[in-house]
Structure 1
């Protein structure tokens, strides 16, 4: 790929990041349930605050711009927020930039406003203060700030079920010598576990395996609150939330306020579930040899023990408190499948072919020379949907397949044959599993509680997910 193509790819990726930033900024203010007065107050508050843009720089957005983005989102959806990827030329002359940086390095305590005054006095012209601030932030010349006083926070709880889900990952015990990780999502109002999954890796695929079934069975929350772990800041998660209309909120680094509920749940998991698992030879507890058994036992513990025990804070059973707000509408299968697909951009060669991770595909000859978006299931690279300027442009027919899954889509390694060991004592998790099977009979179908969707689903759309694993 030439340097020109690399530059264009970088501009396209940056345009998508800008679109995601705009969506995350206006999503709450664009809520159609808000009154005109409520929306105006929220937009004014957003205009007064400082935000971190797609390039990691602190910026302020005017009220007029926020209102315009809301209108564009209502008229054209998420794609309307993505700007043109064309490159803009810098308007500040290089000599002015060089002098401004020299003034800042000379005296780091000089504020942007002071540097602007000096430039005007010296050259008769200077960029505005915000331009200088962004320049200093990008080059690492921002002056050190005083330590922020410690704030005091009151207790918070969502007003209703499915208003706010809190997600996090727990480092668990070893299974057959491999470390495990639990991705879990907790409903803030009821403390019910709406989604969970144990896996061998702490990545986006395992995160999707926990989140997608939760959305399909429990409905779509208004907010999802997570930390800044690599899996939670992946562009895949931002795309999925944007497609489903979920506002994804990340906690500020070093300020984990509001995450105490799921951390308290993880302490319960360690104290009641993982403590009963033997993570090594000779240890007391149940020896688990594969993830399927791990997830089955954990589901039994959640549904039959945790969900049916009165919570110390809410004074109610988590599942019963969550069910008090039912039924919840669930996304249509086609919409959910689209949200959890991945996408990449490629330019169509003169031979009407494209390449993706070592594979070659044939596309419509009319697309030659165009840069298209490829939408796919990361576990099945034999089926690619092609889009041009956000519109469907057919499928890409496999021409030469070298790999069948995305490099990041690493399935769990199948476990070896179960080891024969002699254990003594009480198998607590086995008792929980048996009680779960006897008392519940079958898993609760939460999706059946929601009214059937009026729109007919196109059954030809393949419902594949990145959460498929052994």
Structure 2
């Protein structure tokens, strides 16, 4: 079994047990048994298997393996590779037509119809092989039955405490002067993470793109400040659906969940926040952009921070009746945290490469030297995409000395850079723009933020008891 399939299976198994292992509050008597039975009662599309259900005993084994060895404990043990039987296209098309005709038909029923109809020879198709091809063609029984289910009404949901659930999403917010193309503008994209219970923005930042490294950057900053949430809720975009994000959540014990495709209602809170950004923050930002007071991402993010802490967080929210800051600080919840060194290591990217006979590996156009005893082996490389000069070398679960750069053409991964031509438009004059003079909304919000800091009492460590020292003769 190759590395990719092992990762997919580990991701599936973690998705099953995430509601249990990501739980940071103690469970009530009998709650664990109820959760296991509920998870086991559902049907799934299991990677590398024709089975559709998982027993409670298997779930208990997954939980034990995860708590013992983390993400690696969820990977299956290597097995000898087996040859996969291919299916002729005409036979596969007939199977697809039979499934579409009656989505309730099982794989065994479809094989029976193919054999009895003399479309294929008896015993020539394995159920697991046909099931895999049907899933790849998008006609699995689960998918077809789900699409045929009529939509039902939805009910509002809210987490029961602060930092139980974080919602996140990107927004194409506004345009800034392009730093590399004078006379043109470049799109600034906002990424925000909101606490579901308090509506507190645990982190928000503008970037030039909406790729995975921007999501990782914001998530890491939010965790460093507030701790590890139980659940990270997002949409099905490319950045959110990456296997790397799932691995990060698995190692941190976070339950990663996605809203259903084409159903943004599940992310209503973060979407409402973006609408407030459009009506409150965006006009004020454009005012300063036209005046030349905001010309880059750093200045824009400073204005965003002032707006959040000096206005949004201390403004009463219409849904909760409290300010986000007051609702969040009223909780007595103790957050789970990890050391910064461990957190940095968890966010490293991973690539697999085979070491050539000279003890070198080629990665992203660069050449690195690794220990000679790894020649001919397939090693795992772990690295920070913002610094390709340092790459960790792992083999068979053991870390070896870091790779030595021999030919470093690229010091930064191409995915963390934004192409200069992206999100650019011509600057057009904006007639009717009102100049409000010296009055700046963000300046006033920043002053409000500083006033809030003054209201926070300072505490100091208690002084030694001088009188007691005198009694001791010191």
What TM-score do the two structures reach when normalised by structure 2?
0.80
Distance 1:408 1:231 in 2: 11
Q: For residues 231-250 of structure 1, what are the structure 2 equivalents within 5 Å?
A: 231-250=239-258
For 1:20, which of 3, 6, 11 is the aligned residue?
Answer: 11
Compared CA separation, residues 442 and 368, structure 1 to 2 (3 A):
farther
Distance 2:451 2:47 in 1: 50
Distance 1:56 1:302 in 2: 48
- After TM superposition, the structure 1 stretch with the greater mean CA deviation from structure 2, 144-153 or 170-179, is 144-153
Q: Deviations 1:151-192 (Å, cap 9, x if unpaired)? A: 112211100011000001111110000001110000001000
Find the counterpart in structure 2 of residue 161 from structure 1. Answer: 162
Structure 1 portions without partners, runs of 5+: 1-7, 414-420, 449-470
Compared CA separation, residues 94 and 191, structure 1 to 2 (3 A):
closer
Distance 1:442 1:362 in 2: 55
Find the counterpart in structure 1 of residue 411 from structure 2. Answer: 404
Distance 2:283 2:220 in 1: 28
Compared CA separation, residues 386 and 317, structure 1 to 2 (3 A):
same
Q: CA deviation at 1:246?
A: 0.8
Distance 2:328 2:450 in 1: 23
Find the counterpart in structure 2 of residue 338 from structure 1. Answer: 345
Q: For residues 378-389 of structure 1, what are the structure 2 equivalents within 5 Å?
A: 378-389=385-396
Compared CA separation, residues 266 and 87, structure 1 to 2 (3 A):
farther
Contact 1:161–1:188 under 8 Å retained in 2:
yes
Q: In structure 2, the residue corresponding to 1:408 is in which secondary structure?
A: helix
Q: In structure 1, the residue corresponding to 2:286 is in which secondary structure?
A: coil
Find the counterpart in structure 2 of residue 221 from structure 1. Answer: 229
Contact 2:95–2:114 under 8 Å retained in 1:
no
Q: CA deviation at 1:393?
A: 1.6
CA RMSD of aligned residues (A): 3.4
Would you say 1:276 and 2:276 are equivalent positions?
no
Find the counterpart in structure 2 of residue 114 from structure 1. Answer: 109
Q: In structure 1, the residue corresponding to 2:168 is in which secondary structure?
A: strand
Q: In structure 2, the residue corresponding to 1:28 is in which secondary structure?
A: helix
Would you say 1:251 and 2:259 are equivalent positions?
yes
Compared CA separation, residues 58 and 173, structure 1 to 2 (3 A):
farther
Q: CA deviation at 1:38?
A: 2.1
Would you say 1:40 and 2:33 are equivalent positions?
yes
For 2:136, which of 135, 138, 158 is the aligned residue?
Answer: 138
* Count of aligned pairs between the two proteins: 427
Find the counterpart in structure 1 of residue 468 from structure 2. Answer: none
Compared CA separation, residues 443 and 229, structure 1 to 2 (3 A):
farther
Q: CA deviation at 1:81?
A: 1.2
For 1:261, which of 258, 261, 269 is the aligned residue?
Answer: 269
For 1:352, which of 349, 352, 359 is the aligned residue?
Answer: 359
Q: Deviations 1:63-98 (Å, cap 9, x if unpaired)? A: 34323222221222111112356664256x557997
Compared CA separation, residues 218 and 50, structure 1 to 2 (3 A):
same
Q: For residues 272-351 of structure 1, what are the structure 2 equivalents within 5 Å?
A: 272-278=280-286, 288-326=294-332, 328-351=335-358
Find the counterpart in structure 1 of residue 198 from structure 2. Answer: 190
Distance 2:170 2:298 in 1: 18
Q: CA deviation at 1:411?
A: 6.2
Compared CA separation, residues 245 and 272, structure 1 to 2 (3 A):
same
Distance 2:99 2:176 in 1: 57
Distance 1:183 1:443 in 2: 30
Find the counterpart in structure 1 of residue 149 from structure 2. Answer: 148
Contact 1:116–1:126 under 8 Å retained in 2:
no
Q: Deviations 1:126-147 (Å, cap 9, x if unpaired)? A: 8786764443232345586564
What TM-score do the two structures reach when normalised by structure 1?
0.80
For 1:61, which of 54, 67, 72 is the aligned residue?
Answer: 54
Distance 1:70 1:172 in 2: 42
Q: CA deviation at 1:286?
A: 6.8
Contact 2:22–2:255 under 8 Å retained in 1:
no
Q: In structure 2, the residue corresponding to 1:259 is in which secondary structure?
A: helix
Would you say 1:377 and 2:384 are equivalent positions?
yes
Distance 1:94 1:404 in 2: 43
Compared CA separation, residues 252 and 410, structure 1 to 2 (3 A):
same
Would you say 1:75 and 2:83 are equivalent positions?
no
Find the counterpart in structure 2 of residue 451 from structure 1. Answer: none
Distance 2:391 2:337 in 1: 26
Find the counterpart in structure 1 of residue 451 from structure 2. Answer: 439
Distance 2:16 2:52 in 1: 12
Would you say 1:428 and 2:440 are equivalent positions?
yes
Distance 2:163 2:315 in 1: 20
Find the counterpart in structure 2 of residue 30 from structure 1. Answer: 21
